[in-house]
Amino acid sequence: MAKEITSQAEDYSQWYLDIVNKAGLASNSKVRGCMVIKPYGFAIWEKIKADLDRRFKETGHVNAYFPLLIPKSFLSREADHVEGFAKECAVVTHHRLMNDPNGNGVVVDPDAKLEEELIIRPTSETIIWDTYKDWIHSYRDLPLLINQWANVLRWEMRTRPFLRTAEFLWQEGHTAHASQEEAQAEARQMLDVYTDFVESIMAIPLYKGEKTAHERFAGAENTYTIEALMQDGKALQSGTSHFLGQNFAKAFDVKFLNENNKEEYVWATSWGVSTRLMGALIMMHSDDEGLVLPPRLAPIQVVIVPVPKPNEEINAAVEKIMTELKAKGISVKYDTDKKKRPGFKFAQYEMEGVPVRLAIGKRDLANGVVEVARRDEKTKESIALEGIAEHVEQLLEDIQSNLFNRAKKFRDDNTTKVDTWDEFVAAIEKGGFAYAHWDGTTETELKIKELTKATSRCIPLENPFGEEETEGTCVLTGKPSKRRILFAKAY
Amino acid sequence: MAKEITSQAEDYSQWYLDIVNKAGLASNSKVRGCMVIKPYGFAIWEKIKADLDRRFKETGHVNAYFPLLIPKSFLSREADHVEGFAKECAVVTHHRLMNDPNGNGVVVDPDAKLEEELIIRPTSETIIWDTYKDWIHSYRDLPLLINQWANVLRWEMRTRPFLRTAEFLWQEGHTAHASQEEAQAEARQMLDVYTDFVESIMAIPLYKGEKTAHERFAGAENTYTIEALMQDGKALQSGTSHFLGQNFAKAFDVKFLNENNKEEYVWATSWGVSTRLMGALIMMHSDDEGLVLPPRLAPIQVVIVPVPKPNEEINAAVEKIMTELKAKGISVKYDTDKKKRPGFKFAQYEMEGVPVRLAIGKRDLANGVVEVARRDEKTKESIALEGIAEHVEQLLEDIQSNLFNRAKKFRDDNTTKVDTWDEFVAAIEKGGFAYAHWDGTTETELKIKELTKATSRCIPLENPFGEEETEGTCVLTGKPSKRRILFAKAY
């Protein structure tokens, strides 16, 4: 595999597409905006899924599955919701094809028109709350803590693999509660679950915060978000958790008898992350040699390459190393392909982002050493075979924290506190987050976007500089502002 | 939870629906033919999925994900395939809704009509082989051993939860090979993987066999099947594996350069099992008290009920038992709910099919014993607390084999070798499989179906009676027959 990828400096966008392609993560399909997730990409997604699923279950959630298709009328019940999703729905109108009697091949059978059109779920609040109406009657039925792993579809005009596709895979949690406080706490808890996962497993530092009214989910009262900063200075919303108030309970008439035998509407949350996380993962750590994966998500953590070819002596040494690594729960691959040269293999595993590479030749064995290369810093050293498993184990941990720390440094270095419009424009042009006062109106947000392409990312829950929040004046309008919020250009 | 279910004797079909409902496995949705899989049902499906996924990976397969939507023209490329699926396709024709200017609410936007209609995948051969065209060039790219876990949709007219639903969950393996022999071996291998899983984990005995030409998958050259016998005497096709020959390679022009640098069409297989397995599981073992689950698939294997209520002494004893059971990898739940009486709980866990129930009261503790009830045979006995974990571990294994053995005895007792038409009709009327000579024509198969509602289930790979196959004459037409095959009424 030749290292034929565009460099970041030359064209960041093409660099991203090249990695997706050359590392075997995804490919385009003939269906507009829909990608094929290839086996290597899917193996990473499976690891993301398994870890998140465990965290959801540990916090008391169970999985279920709801229909793919939603009656058109359901969408219309919540006014903001339909406003948000109607413009990008795939609509099923018929249920049969037929051979055209006029010889035009296979066509839609006009007699198989549906009485009511169905849409492919863009998100499942409506079909789920219609179901919850049957499941919830009393406070004893609450809380209902359900998650669904599913595909959803939004007819996006401009798509990019993982980052924005028409169909994507995600999980959507939908919970029902007896009180506002409990629902609010759930929405915040899931934001923390996401944050801990993304920071500790994906090695991506985050700003946690609340969205402004304009950026809220369609139908939510509060939307919490985690925002990451990519290497090109653009922010990426990586997950959201919504406090839905009683909006969907009212739209679908879901009430419960409380402990005092009084009827109340149910309180709701929903929260989701998607295959978009794969896009964040790729962009966050990778370089001009290809993908860089944090060890905790790498399907193969260590690859061993015999130099120049496998032989009995090398095989015996490798077998011992592999046994030791596997005993430590480290996934390892021994590449015995005789048709490919070591240099070719090195380039291939660099492209695929395998965190650690061991190369073993005859002379290494004679000296009781092995060459250890780390993918993140592109360094190599000669390490004694004795104790090699412990060394690799520690190295994987070092790589995991190194990836997080360098990403955090980059993020912090590119978060700028600004006071004037000129400073704001300069910070956005340079790339990264601008922490700025804003007058709190959607009008100003839209004007800022028009002028700079920057959008409000969040009102962070913790001050990015570890300082107290202060009042001030809006960078654009000069009107009073209670506090600063984060702006950036975003994916 | 009251035991309010219809008895099998009274109405088998309603009994099934009652269990699905009362055991919390699934519920109907407002979308025609689509069910909601409830958390308890989904927990069982997750166990099925995890075990199968492990088996697929152990046999060298990897997972990937392909688009939900398929261009209408793809379906038409393989003549038999379109014939098989066109009649039951959900068709996407538009990509946007709008507010009706005439005030009729939200309607389809006529300006958002797709140039080419898309169908929701009823199965993915076409979209996958269109993709394989880009992935396969040389014999070095083969074999390609890929599986997908996905939802699919077929617009069925008469649906029943799990057994036949418009949308269902499944896995579909799609493999590509350099030779006919290798593809044939793959199709047979996956039939064996299914058989081993269904027999050893689901405790359902199977006949493995080949479908007749008439019952083949649309586009296959051979279809292999596993057939189970339900308690009402009807067969249930539980999984299929297809040798597709070069049909899809030719339809999508997928060729490879073989080792002699000659171009050839690729050979293919596909194979799948679905949430239909849940229907088989429910019907196979359950009784008038509710669901019966084989221990290897039970989300909760052991439930402990304090009698009449939890107290410190009981809690201490239970904690010790739970620690011992968990150390053996046994999943256990302690029901400390004080608001429900023991009898109510007993009925509830019987309904949910928990294999083993322990009940502990003050007097039991004084005597150093615990009451152990097994769900499958509805028996209970008093067992010493000392060594209880070993006892339960052995009991779970006994239940697993007992369920298989009694299902096998039922299946064998209801497989009848018949020689005349009268014997055939009597066997089918009684319920179960009739092993009969048949003249090998589709015409006769259809006539048999018309007269008796029985269909050919398979040409078994092993003789059901452990005998040699013999030639004979067709039970219906008297024409010569090379061998007997299995017929039954089926789901």
Q: How far is CA A75 from CA A81, A118, A240, B106, B421, in A?
A: 7, 10, 20, 9, 57
Q: Which of B93, B95, B119 to mutate to test the interface with A (most CBs of A within 10 A)?
A: B95
The whole-angstrom distance between A59's CA and the closest CA on chain B is 15
- Site of tokens 């400096």: A9
Using one digit for the tens of pLDDT, what is the confidence trace for A16-59?
999 999 999 999 999 989 999 999 999 999 999 999 999 999 99
Smallest Cβ–Cβ distance between A65 and the set B30, B36, B118 belongs to B36
What pLDDT score was predicted for residue A3? 55
Q: Is this structure's pTM higher than 0.90?
A: yes
Q: How many CA atoms lie within 13 A of B221 on its CB side?
A: 13
Share of chain B above pLDDT 90, in %: 95
The whole-angstrom distance between A402's CA and the closest CA on chain B is 30
Higher pLDDT, B427 or B105: B427
Are the Cβ atoms of B119 and A131 closer than 8 angstroms? no
Please give the single-letter amino acid code of residue B9: A
The whole-angstrom distance between B41's CA and the closest CA on chain A is 8
| Residues of B with Cβ-Cβ distance to A76 under 8 angstroms | 105-106
Contact B389, B372 (CB under 8 A): no
| Residues of A with Cβ-Cβ distance to B117 under 8 angstroms | 108
* Residue B31 structure tokens: 């979308």
d(CA B404, CA B93): 48
Smallest Cβ–Cβ distance between B108 and the set A31, A69, A117 belongs to A117
Using one digit for the tens of pLDDT, what is the confidence trace for B71-90?
999 988 988 888 889 999 99
Q: How far is CA B339 from CA A272, B29, B308, B343, in A?
A: 35, 31, 11, 12
Question: ∠ at Cα B490 (B51, B239), nearest 5°?
Answer: 25
- Residue of chain B whose alpha carbon sits nearest to that of A68: B167
Does the pLDDT value for residue A1 go beyond 80? no
d(CA A452, CA A466): 27
Q: How far is CA B472 from CA A48, B433, B479, B483, in A?
A: 58, 18, 8, 7
Using one digit for the tens of pLDDT, what is the confidence trace for B195-225?
999 999 999 999 999 999 999 999 999 999 9
Q: Which of A95, A121, A170 to mutate to test the interface with B (most CBs of B within 10 A)?
A: A95
Does the pLDDT value for residue A126 go beyond 90? yes
Does the pLDDT value for residue A86 go beyond 80? yes
The mean pLDDT of B374-379, rounded to a whole number, is 97
- Residue of chain A whose alpha carbon sits nearest to that of B111: A87
| Residues of B with Cβ-Cβ distance to A89 under 8 angstroms | 95-97
| Residues of A with Cβ-Cβ distance to B89 under 8 angstroms | 95-97
The mean pLDDT of B415-425, rounded to a whole number, is 98
| Residues of A with Cβ-Cβ distance to B76 under 8 angstroms | 105-106
- What is the average pLDDT score of chain A? 97
- Beta carbons within 8 Å of A378's beta carbon, 6+ residues apart: A287, A289
- Residue of chain B whose alpha carbon sits nearest to that of A61: B39
Using one digit for the tens of pLDDT, what is the confidence trace for B21-78?
999 999 999 998 999 999 999 999 999 999 999 999 999 999 999 999 999 999 889 8
The whole-angstrom distance between A420's CA and the closest CA on chain B is 41
Task: State the pLDDT confidence band at B1, using cuts at 50, 70 and 90.
Answer: very low
| Residues of A with Cβ-Cβ distance to B153 under 8 angstroms | 68-69
Are the Cβ atoms of A131 and B27 closer than 8 angstroms? yes
Contact A283, A10 (CB under 8 A): no
How many helices (H) and strands (E) are present in chain A, helices listed first? 14, 27
Contact B102, B221 (CB under 8 A): no
- Residue of chain A whose alpha carbon sits nearest to that of B146: A39
Are the Cβ atoms of B64 and A93 closer than 8 angstroms? no
DSSP B138: B
Are the Cβ atoms of A66 and B36 closer than 8 angstroms? yes
Packing angle between helix B276-285 and helix B39-58, nearest 10 degrees? 110
Are the Cβ atoms of B106 and A62 closer than 8 angstroms? no
Rg (chain A; Cα; Å) = 26
| Residues of B with Cβ-Cβ distance to A47 under 8 angstroms | none
The answer for A369, left when phi > 0, alpha when psi is -120 to 50, beta otherwise, is beta
The whole-angstrom distance between A1's CA and the closest CA on chain B is 14
Smallest Cβ–Cβ distance between B66 and the set A36, A68, A96 belongs to A36
The whole-angstrom distance between B276's CA and the closest CA on chain A is 15
**Nearest by Cα to A248 from A267, A234, A232, A235:** A267
Contact A197, A52 (CB under 8 A): yes
Contact A176, A267 (CB under 8 A): yes
d(CA B377, CA B379): 5
E-strand stretches of A200-275 = 207-210, 222-229, 235-245, 255-257, 263-265, 267-274
Task: State the pLDDT confidence band at A79, using cuts at 50, 70 and 90.
Answer: confident
The whole-angstrom distance between B75's CA and the closest CA on chain A is 9
Using one digit for the tens of pLDDT, what is the confidence trace for A286-326?
999 999 999 999 999 999 999 999 999 999 999 999 999 99
- Residue of chain A whose alpha carbon sits nearest to that of B43: A63
What pLDDT score was predicted for residue B98? 94
Contact B439, B479 (CB under 8 A): yes
**Collapsed DSSP state (helix, strand, coil) of residue A169:** strand
Are the Cβ atoms of A86 and B96 closer than 8 angstroms? yes
Using one digit for the tens of pLDDT, what is the confidence trace for B258-302?
999 999 999 999 999 999 999 999 999 999 999 999 999 999 999
Please give the single-letter amino acid code of residue A197: F
At residue B110, what are phi and psi to the nearest 5 degrees? -65, -20
| Residues of B with Cβ-Cβ distance to A46 under 8 angstroms | 63
